A = this chain, B = another copy of it.
Amino acid sequence: MKFIKNAVGREIPEYLEGIGELVPFKGVDAIKPTKNKAGAKLRMRIQDEPKLVASLEEAIKKSGLKDGMTISFHHHMRNGDAVVNMVLDLIAKMGIKDLTLAPSSLGTCHEPVIEHIKNGVVTGIQSSGLRAPLGDEISKGILKKPVIIRSHGGRARAVEDGELHIDVAFLAAPSCDEMGNINGRTGKSACGSMGYAKVDAEYADYVIAVTDNLVAFPNLPASIDQTLVDSVVVVDSIGDPKKIVSGAIRDSENPRDLLIAEYAVKAILASGYFKDGFVYQTGTGGASLSVTKLLKEEMIKTGTRASLGLGGITSQLVNLHEEGLMDALFDTQSFDLDAVRSIGENPKHYEISASFYANPNTPGPAVNNLSFVMLSALEIDTSFNVNVMTKSNGVINEAVGGHQDTAAGAKMSIILAPLMRARIPIIVDKVTTVCTPGEAVDVICTDYGIVVNPRRKDLIENFTKAGLELKTIEEIKNLAEQLTGKPDPIEFTDEIVGIVEYRDGSIIDVIKKVKD
């Protein structure tokens, strides 16, 4: 195997069995697209031909699914999803093998996928997220082809440029009419935005809507509309409502989170980007929630309004919008019940596809509008590279999500992270797996202070003017090591079990099989 060192210093094989030729990562925005968008198969349906079929099996037969094809799912059902397992069980019974499973993400509820890898139904996986126990098993090398990890924007890009061709898309549909007009706003399995599913529906050669809530035609708004859906199947349940969306997420009371958040808000205020019309994205971690809480106070105090909140939408952002502090919300995924309610009620709580959200190969993904994004990290290294995919023991867990996309798009990306977790240092010499390149990481806020990427001289100047005390990444790393000791290196075999794509399709890192 011949290797090339990529722009973050990782050795990338030129060719990988089961995947093909690999392009090493060359830097943020270094690879410009040269192709045209791919296009789904054109299909014609004569007037009254019904789309409603009696069973999932009938829909799969009509789709022409066969050995070697690629199937997709969305993860708006999150950890309550029943559709991936239901479809794979049936496909296994039907005797179809050697499929690539290409959902937008996978969670802990997808443990049964392990069996379908072992029985040969699934031989490839492409996903943004992979959690235990599936992640552990893949790290042990059970999957025939290496897994491909992509960001949300990277997946949309791959679908649009044809790198990821979906033969059959299965869409869990919280509400659907007999023509296939779908939205996630009503029904017992309501999930709000259908942002990931929109991309699949547009580019798949055959689209099957799987619903537990067949409603009268026309079901509006049609997040996915009748021109994209081939078959509609009614099942008892597409998921466990209690696990699809959470109730209101409570503010963190962890003093460490609050400390990190205070540093982050100071950085935001001093950045020069905190002014009317700013665009904001945050996550659901404790420190993130605290940042938004503190920032809201500053917005009220200074009379500063945001134009837009972005990303996975939470009740916190809904609250900012409904109180008139944030003009609009772009929602690819609704994180809680409040977000699900709001997307149906507020016309400026706007549903967007994963491509609109983060696809780098369009003239205007929403991430490029970001002023600030709050991001998490499992590890950060002294080159500012971030790992959000492998645990401290090297095993696959968690998800890349929109991390790469927002970090590259935002004027100021802020990583919120404690110096250590359970006596394991977070700031290290080299991250186990590079997911987001240091080039796109601007600021790190820890419980021991603020670090700015030396590339961002402008921010260093602004922060210094504002009297913020800054630390260097080495100072912070040394402090972490003093507190925890230097961790033992993880032992891997040479076998590659996964590749992490950068959003442009190049390879930013590989994941190797862990030693037993």
Contacts and interface: CB of A to CB of B under 8 A. Distances in A.
Given A47-B409, A362-B227, A36 B38 contact: yes
A229 B218 CA distance: 29
B38 A39 contact: yes
Given A217-B307, A217-B308, A369-B179, A361 B222 contact: no
Contacts of A368: 45, 47-48
Contacts of A207: 363
Tell me which of A38, A47, A48 has the highest count of chain B C-beta atoms within 10 A of its own C-beta. A47
Contacts of A347: 220-221
A216 interface: yes
A46 B29 contact: yes
A250 interface: no
Contacts of A33: 42-44
A233 to B, nearest CB: 15
A39 B37 contact: yes
Nearest to A43: B363
Interface stretch (A139-147, A348-356, A378-386, A421-429): A348-356
A35 interface: yes
Nearest to A39: B37
Contact of A218 (B29, B38, B216, B308): B308
Tell me which of A225, A307, A361, A363 has the highest count of chain B C-beta atoms within 10 A of its own C-beta. A363
Contacts of A226: 356, 363-364, 366
A40 B37 contact: yes
A160 interface: yes
A408 to B, nearest CB: 8
A363 B220 contact: no
Interface string A287-324: 00000000000000000000110000000000000000
B37 A42 contact: yes
Contacts of A352: 225
A45 B308 contact: no
Interface size class of A (residues with CB under 8 A): 35 or more
A86 B242 CA distance: 57
A93 interface: no
Nearest to A202: B37
Given A217-B308, A220-B328, A361 B29 contact: no
Contacts of A449: none
Nearest to A351: B221
B161 A42 contact: yes
Interface in A356-379: 356, 359-366, 368-369
B36 A39 contact: yes
A430 to B, nearest CB: 28
B364 A179 contact: yes
B44 A36 contact: no
A103 to B, nearest CB: 22
Contacts of A44: 29, 32-33, 360-363
Nearest to A348: B220
A513 interface: no
Contacts of A34: 42
Contacts of A362: 42-45, 227-228
A49 to B, nearest CB: 9
Contact of A217 (B46, B218, B365, B369): B369
A167 interface: no
A359 B365 CA distance: 28
B39 A217 contact: no
A277 interface: yes
A41 interface: yes
A364 B45 CA distance: 7
Contacts of A37: 39-42
22 contacts: A32-B44, A33-B43, A36-B41, A39-B39, A42-B362, A43-B361, A44-B362, A45-B362, A45-B363, A48-B368, A179-B364, A179-B369, A216-B277, A217-B277, A217-B307, A217-B308, A217-B369, A218-B328, A220-B350, A226-B366, A227-B364, A228-B363
